[in-house]
C-alpha cells in the first residue's frame, strides 16, 4: 500500500507559523469545514490538533488557528471561503500530516501514522559538540511496493499554496537534538531524509540519510545516534584572469564551491557572481577539500547557453579552518566542437537535445546541453579533457544501452565533423 506524507519538523512545543502571501480578493461566503483524524487502521484519534491558516491573505504575519478533535476524532469549524486553505494535523505519538482544502471542499480527513523520533548530535570539524545549532528537515522521501512518494519540501509545498511554514529544532548544551513527529520509515522499502544544520560562524551543512542505500548495501542511517556536521566557517576569495587575445562578450562569471563526503552524504554549497573586477568571495564554507566550478554568465547574469570559453573544475582545494583562503583562477579557452547527430537506422539527421558531460565535474554530471538545428548540426564550447555527449531524453533505453559518444580535446583545439550515431532502443520482451 502506498503512503503519502507531507512532513514538517517541530520542537517539543509547537512553533508558531509565519505566512507571507500576495494580497488577493477573498471570498467571504461562509463555509463549514469538518473531518476526521484517524490512525492507519481507521481508529479515530481524540484530542488531535488541526491547525489551519489561509493560504492567501494580507501581507503580514498570520498565526495559525487550531482546534482539537473530539472522542470520535471529529473536528468542525465555520470560516469563510478562500481560494485555498492549508492545514496541519498532529497528535501525540504520531507523525504530521499536511493538507489543503479548495473552496468547494467542506470535508477534510487526515490519516496519521506512528511517529519516529530522530535523535542525534551536532559536532564541528574536530568532533566537538556544537550547542545552539539549528537542525531543519527539508525533505522526506519514501517508496514501497513499487510506489514512490513525491520529494516533499514543506516550505515549497506550503509556498505553492501562498504561505510558508517553518519548523526546526535547536541542539542543546551538549549538542543533542531530537526531531519529533516524523514518519516511521519501516513500512517503506526505502526511505531518505534531508537534514540541514546552521549556526552563526559555522558552515551550513546538508546531510542525506537513507534506510537502504544502493551504494552502501546494508547501511541504515536511521539506526543509532545520528551525527550532523556543523564546522567552523571558512572564507574563500581570489581573482579571475583571462588569456591574451581571448575576446569575450561577457566577463561575468559564476564561481561555485562544493564540499562533499560520499561516505556520509554531507554537502555544503556556496556561490558568488563575478563582475568586471574579476574578484570573488565565498563565505561560510567548511574546512577540508572543496571543488570549484566556473561558469560564464550573460549580460543578464544568467548561465550562458553557448559559453565562449571553458575552464575545467578545480578539484581538491584545501580550505583551512577559520581562515581566509586565497585561490586565483585562470580562465581557459576550452575547445570548440562541431558535429552532427544521425539516426543510425535511417541515416537521416536528428534534431534532439544532447547533454554535454565532462569527466572533471561531479560524477561526470552534465555541464550544459545543446539542441542541434533541423539538419542535426551543433557546435559546443567545452573545457579541455574527456567529454561525453548523450541523449537528454533516453527514457526508452536501458541503462547499459543509452547512446553516447566520448572524445578528448585540448585547450584551444577546434574539433570538426564529429558524428554522433544514435541507435534505436532494443525491443522489450513482452510481459507475461
Annotate 389-420 with DSSP letters as a single string: EEES--TTS-GGG--EEEEEE-TT-EEEEEEE
59 pLDDT more than 60: no
Verify that 132 and 215 share a domain, yes or no.
yes
In a domain, 286, yes or no: yes
pLDDT for res 336: 93
**Residue 124 domain boundaries:** 116-229
Verify that 210 and 167 share a domain, yes or no.
yes
pLDDT band at 84 (very low <50, low <70, confident <90, very high): low
Least confident interval from 53-57, 260-264, 394-398: 53-57
pLDDT for res 428: 53
pLDDT band at 158 (very low <50, low <70, confident <90, very high): very low
pLDDT for res 241: 93
234 pLDDT more than 70: yes
Pairing of strands 30-39, 354-358: unpaired
Verify that 410 and 348 share a domain, yes or no.
yes
Lay out the sheet containing 97-101: strands in order across: 65-68, 49-54, 85-90, 97-101
pLDDT band at 398 (very low <50, low <70, confident <90, very high): confident
Verify that 317 and 246 share a domain, yes or no.
yes
In a domain, 2, yes or no: no
Verify that 355 and 294 share a domain, yes or no.
no
pLDDT band at 366 (very low <50, low <70, confident <90, very high): low
pLDDT for res 36: 92
Task: For residue 84, give the CATH number of its domain.
Answer: 2.60.40.1120
pLDDT for res 393: 85
Least confident interval from 30-34, 122-126, 267-271, 422-426: 30-34
User: Rounded to whole angstroms, how far apart are CA atoms 377 and 365?
Assistant: 23
pLDDT band at 163 (very low <50, low <70, confident <90, very high): very low
State the CB neighbour count (10 A cutoff) for residue 375: 12
Verify that 273 and 289 share a domain, yes or no.
yes
In a domain, 10, yes or no: no
User: Rounded to whole angstroms, how far apart are CA atoms 62 and 151?
Assistant: 27
In a domain, 14, yes or no: no
* Cell numbers that stand for 25 in this block: 480578493
Verify that 169 and 265 share a domain, yes or no.
no
pLDDT for res 238: 96
Stronger pLDDT, 204 or 213, i.e. the higher one: 204
pLDDT for res 164: 34
Verify that 190 and 219 share a domain, yes or no.
yes
pLDDT for res 363: 54
Domain end point (choices 189, 208, 229): 229
268 pLDDT more than 50: yes
Question: pLDDT for 336-346, tens place per residue?
Answer: 999 999 999 99
101 pLDDT more than 90: no
In a domain, 429, yes or no: no
**333: CB partners within 8 A, 6+ apart:** 243, 246, 309, 310, 411, 412
Verify that 363 and 400 share a domain, yes or no.
yes
Verify that 317 and 238 share a domain, yes or no.
yes
| φ and ψ at residue 303, rounded to 5 degrees | -60, 130
State the CB neighbour count (10 A cutoff) for residue 241: 10
15 pLDDT more than 50: no
In a domain, 4, yes or no: no
Verify that 151 and 90 share a domain, yes or no.
no
Give bridge partners of residue 148 from the DSSP assignment: 143
In a domain, 150, yes or no: yes
Of the segments 184-198, 294-308, 406-420, which one has the largest average pLDDT value? Answer: 406-420
Number of compact structural domains in the chain: 4
364 pLDDT more than 90: no
Question: pLDDT for 274-284, tens place per residue?
Answer: 988 999 999 99
In a domain, 191, yes or no: yes
Domain end point (choices 198, 229, 260): 229
User: Rounded to whole angstroms, how far apart are CA atoms 313 and 315?
Assistant: 6
Domain end point (choices 330, 345, 379): 330
Stronger pLDDT, 206 or 5, i.e. the higher one: 206
Torsional sign, CA 65, 66, 67, 73: positive
pLDDT band at 54 (very low <50, low <70, confident <90, very high): low
Verify that 155 and 223 share a domain, yes or no.
yes
pLDDT for res 40: 83
pLDDT band at 94 (very low <50, low <70, confident <90, very high): confident
pLDDT for res 55: 56
Amino acid at each position: 500500500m502506498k503512503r503519502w506524507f507531507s512532513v514538517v519538523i517541530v520542537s517539543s512545543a509547537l512553533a508558531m507559523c509565519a505566512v507571507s502571501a500576495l494580497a488577493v480578493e477573498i471570498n467571504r461566503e461562509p463555509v463549514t469545514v469538518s473531518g476526521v483524524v484517524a490512525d492507519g487502521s481507521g481508529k479515530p484519534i481524540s484530542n488531535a490538533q488541526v491547525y489551519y491558516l489561509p493560504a492567501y491573505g494580507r501581507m503580514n504575519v498570520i498565526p495559525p488557528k487550531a482546534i482539537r478533535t473530539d472522542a470520535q476524532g471529529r473536528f468542525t469549524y465555520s470560516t469563510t471561503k478562500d481560494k485555498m486553505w492549508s492545514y496541519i494535523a498532529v497528535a501525540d505519538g504520531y507523525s504530521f500530516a499536511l493538507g489543503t482544502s479548495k473552496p468547494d471542499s467542506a470535508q477534510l480527513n487526515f490519516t496519521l501514522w506512528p511517529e519516529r523520533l530522530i535523535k542525534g548530535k551536532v559536532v564541528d570539524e574536530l568532533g566537538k559538540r556544537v550547542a545552539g545549532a539549528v537542525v531543519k528537515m527539508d525533505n522526506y522521501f519514501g517508496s514501497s511496493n513499487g510506489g514512490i512518494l513525491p520529494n516533499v519540501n514543506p516550505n515549497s509545498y506550503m509556498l505553492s499554496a501562498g504561505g510558508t511554514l517553518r519548523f526546526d529544532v535547536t541542539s542543546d548544551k551538549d549538542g543533542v537534538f531530537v526531531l519529533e513527529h516524523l514518519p516511521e520509515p519501516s513500512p517503506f522499502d526505502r526511505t531518505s531524509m534531508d537534514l540541514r544544520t546552521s549556526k552563526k560562524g559555522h558552515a551550513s551543512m546538508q546531510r542525506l540519510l537513507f534506510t537502504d542505500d544502493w551504494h552502501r548495501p546494508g547501511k541504515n542511517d536511521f539506526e543509532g545516534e545520528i551525527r550532523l556536521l556543523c564546522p567552523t566557517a571558512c572564507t574563500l576569495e581570489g581573482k579571475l584572469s583571462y588569456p591574451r587575445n581571448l575576446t569575450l562578450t561577457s566577463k561575468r562569471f559564476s564561481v561555485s564551491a562544493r564540499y562533499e563526503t560520499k561516505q556520509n552524504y554531507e554537502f555544503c554549497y556556496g556561490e558568488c557572481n563575478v563582475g568586471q573586477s574579476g574578484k570573488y568571495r565565498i563565505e561560510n564554507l567548511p574546512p577540508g577539500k572543496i571543488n570549484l566550478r566556473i561558469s560564464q554568465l550573460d549580460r543578464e547574469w544568467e548561465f550562458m547557453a553557448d559559453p565562449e570559453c571553458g575552464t575545467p573544475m578545480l578539484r581538491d582545494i584545501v580550505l583551512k579552518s577559520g581562515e581566509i583562503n586565497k585561490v586565483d583562477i585562470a580562465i581557459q579557452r576550452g575547445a570548440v566542437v562541431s558535429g552532427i547527430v544521425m539516426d543510425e537506422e535511417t541515416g537521416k539527421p536528428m534534431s534532439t537535445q544532447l547533454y554535454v558531460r565532462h569527466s572533471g565535474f561531479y560524477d561526470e554530471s552534465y555541464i550544459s546541453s545543446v539542441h542541434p538545428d533541423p539538419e542535426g548540426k551543433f557546435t559546443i564550447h567545452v573545457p579541455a579533457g574527456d567529454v561525453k555527449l548523450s541523449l537528454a531524453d533516453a527514457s526508452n533505453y536501458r541503462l547499459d544501452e543509452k547512446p553516447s559518444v566520448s572524445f578528448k580535446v585540448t585547450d584551444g583545439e577546434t574539433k570538426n565533423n564529429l558524428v554522433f550515431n544514435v541507435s534505436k532502443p532494443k525491443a522489450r520482451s513482452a510481459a507475461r
